[in-house]
């Protein structure tokens, strides 16, 4: 499917510009469309601040080994995963050099699956029970997951040394610590963000001193350049973007959009596109549309009002910017890499589910 | 996978009761679990008010032909679909006696797929262009989709007769009208709901008089017994339920829940379950938990605080009630039909995507 050339078509009469008019036999709607220039920009940009292993890209944001291969080609060969399925898929794709499952796993069957993966896998642990079960399943590498202020997984920083000792006593290699300051990703003011990240990471550094090992892992797209306290950053959203991260002062571009088609034009002034809640992650609210207002989304539809001067036609293609990338991508079977009018590659979203 | 008997296990010491403790080798978490008694109750209950073809179940809510077969066995053999994929899947499952695609289709490839389905398919139309394209693709049966007050698809009621004439002139069978009063599903006061539904349906009846044909189709779970103006109701959520519909005065039970496992217990008082935004539709907000409070959901986690007196253990199973059924179901590959501790059947969610 690579380098599939579309039929040429004039689109000057249409409101969305030439990039949004793919024939349905090439890309049926609704579909996630990734502009290659924006993707390349994002990879190049993050590599300036975080070259090589300073970035441990988080695959949960894009769930596609095809995109992970592009990051590996840019020198980022260590990866972060959120699910056992992601670890298995990355290993199968030949990307198992150093996979951090930055999440707790207690289920014995999932631990057995994890231990059976042909890759170097490191598991996050925040409890004694977790260590006992991981050891029993044959997991060899751990990091101690530390509570740095986000109400989610992670042990008390003062407990990290004890867990590390327990892990080593059980014969496991304790590679260090991780702590995700997710509650600070959306601090809009940069100076405030820097200050709060420093405070949060001071907890991680306390734990790191007690634990030892080479890894001090944390961070995300929102703090990729302000979290200077870790030695690797677990960012993922930078790659494709969403409207929430676009509100920050970051140098990344919106690279993925939801392409859909106009199904209905109501004389009262609204239009209806053929994609809705089942094609979007909605926890951060409605998607955005560059050429007008999104009134609301329902299961299979988005109701829109075009801006003044924008005219829409039935079956016209438009593109919506998702509000939250990760749960949007997880709703789709594939993305399409495009270069303007040219469709370059189908990107299977092969790391979905559990 | 039917009648797969689990190992017996005492669960009296655990907070969620015996029904929530399936071994992971039978049902790995996160997973959608459907209680058979509640499912049967919902099917029996709606059949009292809407026997046989008075109910045209909307498969978009549950997206599983296994569940559609149960409705057909209860006498409901006509179905509503929202996507071409749903029509194709229902036909393949032998449930194509009378399928209404209650949505506009303008894309020529999708119309060709629809015309090729081996089933009786009726398509909703709200524009002249829609009729021209449907006729060209070989679609034989139409209903005129009418705007009854929800800002979405549907023509002006005064325009319905003209579209019907156009359809018949193009050689198509115009079976009647449909209009979905989706904006009235959540009117909490019953008397107000009845009055508003009557006003909304008066628009549909104007169109029906102009269009002719046998179908006057509309309604949903929220108005299944107050919309007495149509001759069939397109309800779907009644089958499995969600917390939004549970706020109404309806006799249906919550039949599906998201089963997940506790990954982390923080000494500050919260617990973390292994399912989040990627396992839930979030447009109606967080899921609910019978034994405590949901603090928030993130991609792979839900952070909870147990109610006083409820104790949780690591790896314990709990169940969350989804806030919006349709986009929750669409995130999963399967549901599990259970009867208490017994797993009866895997229900593939085979009608997903487009």
Indicate whether A195 and A57 sit together in one domain.
Answer: yes
Cβ pair A107:B182 closer than 8 A: no
Mutation target among A107, A131, A303 for the B interface, most CBs of B within 10 A: A107
Q: Is A242 among the domain residues? A: no
List helix spans (H) across chain B.
36-49, 65-73, 84-92, 108-116, 128-137, 160-169, 190-211, 243-246, 325-329
Mutation target among B283, B292, B297, B333 for the A interface, most CBs of A within 10 A: B283
Cβ pair B282:A278 closer than 8 A: no
Separation between Cα atoms, residue B298 and residue B319, nearest integer Å: 17
Of B274, B303, B333, the CB nearest to A151: B303
Indicate whether B208 and B288 sit together in one domain.
Answer: no
Separation between Cα atoms, residue B354 and residue A276, nearest integer Å: 12
List helix spans (H) across B105-189.
108-116, 128-137, 160-169
Q: Is B225 among the domain residues? A: yes
Cβ pair A104:B264 closer than 8 A: yes
Q: Is B308 among the domain residues? A: yes
Cβ pair A263:B108 closer than 8 A: no
Q: What is the pLDDT of residues A114-169, one digit of tens each?
A: 999 999 999 999 999 999 999 999 999 999 999 999 999 999 999 999 999 999 99
- CA of B276 vs chain A CAs: smallest distance (Å): 9
Residue finishing a domain among B201, B234, B267: B234
Contact predicate A112/A143, CB 8 Å: no
Separation between Cα atoms, residue B282 and residue B17, nearest integer Å: 26
Residue B272, Cβ density class (10 Å: 0-12 exposed, 13-18 middle, ≥19 buried):
buried
Mean pLDDT, to the nearest integer, of B316-321?
96
Cβ pair A28:B354 closer than 8 A: yes
Closest by Cα among A332, A351, A344 to A260:
A332
Q: Are strands A342-348 and A302-306 parallel, antiparallel or unpaired?
A: unpaired
Q: Is B40 among the domain residues? A: no
Indicate whether A126 and A275 sit together in one domain.
Answer: no
Residue count of chain B: 354
Tell me which chain A residues have a C-beta less than 8 angstroms from the C-beta of B82: 299-300
Q: What is the pLDDT of residues A298-345, one digit of tens each?
A: 999 999 999 999 999 999 999 999 999 999 999 999 999 999 889 999
According to DSSP, residue A55 is labeled B
Separation between Cα atoms, residue B257 and residue B244, nearest integer Å: 14
Contact predicate A288/A239, CB 8 Å: no
Indicate whether B295 and B212 sit together in one domain.
Answer: no
3-state secondary structure of B315: coil
Indicate whether A224 and A338 sit together in one domain.
Answer: no
ipTM of the complex: 0.93
Task: Name the more confident of B5 and B275.
Answer: B275
Q: Is B273 among the domain residues? A: yes
Q: At A202, which CATH number?
A: 3.20.20.10
Mutation target among B7, B220, B300, B316 for the A interface, most CBs of A within 10 A: B300
Indicate whether B295 and B324 sit together in one domain.
Answer: yes
- Helices A190-211 and A160-169 pack at an angle, to 10 degrees, of 40
Q: Is B90 among the domain residues? A: yes
**B6 pLDDT higher than 50:** no
Domain that includes residue B108, residue range: 51-234
Indicate whether B147 and B82 sit together in one domain.
Answer: yes
Indicate whether B23 and B86 sit together in one domain.
Answer: no
Of A83, A152, A301, the CB nearest to B152: A301
- In terms of phi and psi (left: phi > 0; alpha: psi -120 to 50; beta: otherwise), the region of B163 is alpha
- CA of B172 vs chain A CAs: smallest distance (Å): 20
Q: What is the pLDDT of residues B108-120, one digit of tens each?
A: 999 999 999 999 9
Contact predicate A21/A27, CB 8 Å: no
Longest dimension (CA), chain B: 72
Mean pLDDT, to the nearest integer, of B169-179?
98
Separation between Cα atoms, residue B258 and residue B273, nearest integer Å: 11
Q: Is A11 among the domain residues? A: no
- CA of A331 vs chain B CAs: smallest distance (Å): 6
**Residues above pLDDT 90, as percent of chain B:** 92
pLDDT under 50 in chain A at which residues?
Answer: 1-20
Q: Is B114 among the domain residues? A: yes
B188 contacts: CB under 8 Å, gap ≥ 6: B247, B248, B249
3-state secondary structure of A52: helix
Contact predicate A47/A55, CB 8 Å: yes
Q: State both tokens at A95.
A: 């990307």
Residue A80 phi/psi, 5° resolution?
Answer: -105, 140
Indicate whether A28 and A55 sit together in one domain.
Answer: no
Per the omega criterion (within 30 degrees of 0), is the bond before B30 cis? yes
Indicate whether A258 and A139 sit together in one domain.
Answer: no
Indicate whether B324 and B194 sit together in one domain.
Answer: no
Cβ pair B266:A24 closer than 8 A: no
Contact predicate B124/B96, CB 8 Å: no
- CA of A347 vs chain B CAs: smallest distance (Å): 16
Indicate whether A125 and A268 sit together in one domain.
Answer: no
How many CA atoms lie less than 13 Å away from A274 in the CB half-sphere? 26
Structure confidence at residue B22 as a pLDDT band (50, 70, 90): low
At residue A23, the pLDDT reads 56
Cβ pair A263:B106 closer than 8 A: yes
Separation between Cα atoms, residue A353 and residue A351, nearest integer Å: 7
Q: At A264, which CATH number?
A: 2.40.37.20
End-to-end CA distance of chain B: 27
| Chain B nearest-CA residue for A63 | B278
Separation between Cα atoms, residue B194 and residue B184, nearest integer Å: 9
Q: Count structural domains, chain B.
A: 2
Q: State both tokens at B202.
A: 């008066």
- CA of A325 vs chain B CAs: smallest distance (Å): 10
Tell me which chain B residues have a C-beta less than 8 angstroms from the C-beta of A354: 28-30
Cβ pair B147:A104 closer than 8 A: no
Q: What is the pLDDT of residues B186-236, one digit of tens each?
A: 999 999 999 999 999 999 999 999 999 999 999 999 999 999 999 999 999
Residue finishing a domain among A234, A260, A290: A234
What element of type H or E holds A161?
A: helix A160-169
Quote the mean pLDDT of chain B: 93
- CA of A242 vs chain B CAs: smallest distance (Å): 14
| Chain A nearest-CA residue for B129 | A314
Contact predicate B152/A264, CB 8 Å: yes
Counted across chains A and B, CB pairs separated by less than 8 A come out at: 152
**B124 pLDDT higher than 90:** yes
What element of type H or E holds B318?
A: strand B317-321
Cβ pair B106:A268 closer than 8 A: no
Using alpha carbons only, give the angle A269, A272, A274 rounded to the nearest 5 degrees. Answer: 170
């Amino acid at each position: 499917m690579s380098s599939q050339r579309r039929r040429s078509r004039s689109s000057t009469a249409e409101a969305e510009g030439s990039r949004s008019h793919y024939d349905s036999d090439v890309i049926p709607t609704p579909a996630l469309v990734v502009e290659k220039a924006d993707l390349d920009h994002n990879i190049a940009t993050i590599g300036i601040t975080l070259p090589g292993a300073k970035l441990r890209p988080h695959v949960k944001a894009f769930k596609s080994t095809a995109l992970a291969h592009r990051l590996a080609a840019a020198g980022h060969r260590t990866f972060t995963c959120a699910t056992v399925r992601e670890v298995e898929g990355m290993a199968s794709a030949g990307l198992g050099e150093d996979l951090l499952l930055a999440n707790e796993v207690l289920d014995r069957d999932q631990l057995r699956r994890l231990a059976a993966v042909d890759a170097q896998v490191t598991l996050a642990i925040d409890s004694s029970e977790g260590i006992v079960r991981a050891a029993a399943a044959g997991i060899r590498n751990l990091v101690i997951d530390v509570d740095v202020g986000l109400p989610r997984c992670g042990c008390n920083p003062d407990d990290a040394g004890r867990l590390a000792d327990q892990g080593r006593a059980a014969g496991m290699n304790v590679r260090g610590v991780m702590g995700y300051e997710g509650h600070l990703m959306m601090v809009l003011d940069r100076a405030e963000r820097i200050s709060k990240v420093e405070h949060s990471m001071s907890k991680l550094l306390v734990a790191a001193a007690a634990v030892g090992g080479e890894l001090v892992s944390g961070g995300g797209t929102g703090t990729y350049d302000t979290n200077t306290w870790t030695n690797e950053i677990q960012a993922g959203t930078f790659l494709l973007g969403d409207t929430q991260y676009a509100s920050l002062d970051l140098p990344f571009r919106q690279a993925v959009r939801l392409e859909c088609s106009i199904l209905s034009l109501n004389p009262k002034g609204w239009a209806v596109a053929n994609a809705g809640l089942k094609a979007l992650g909605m926890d951060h609210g409605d998607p955005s549309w560059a050429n007008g207002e999104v009134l609301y989304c329902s299961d299979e539809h988005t109701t829109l009002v075009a801006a003044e001067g924008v005219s829409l036609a039935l079956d016209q293609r438009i593109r919506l910017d998702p509000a939250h990338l990760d749960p949007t991508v997880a709703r789709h079977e594939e993305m399409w890499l495009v270069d303007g009018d040219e469709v370059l590659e189908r990107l299977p979203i092969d790391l979905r589910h559990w």
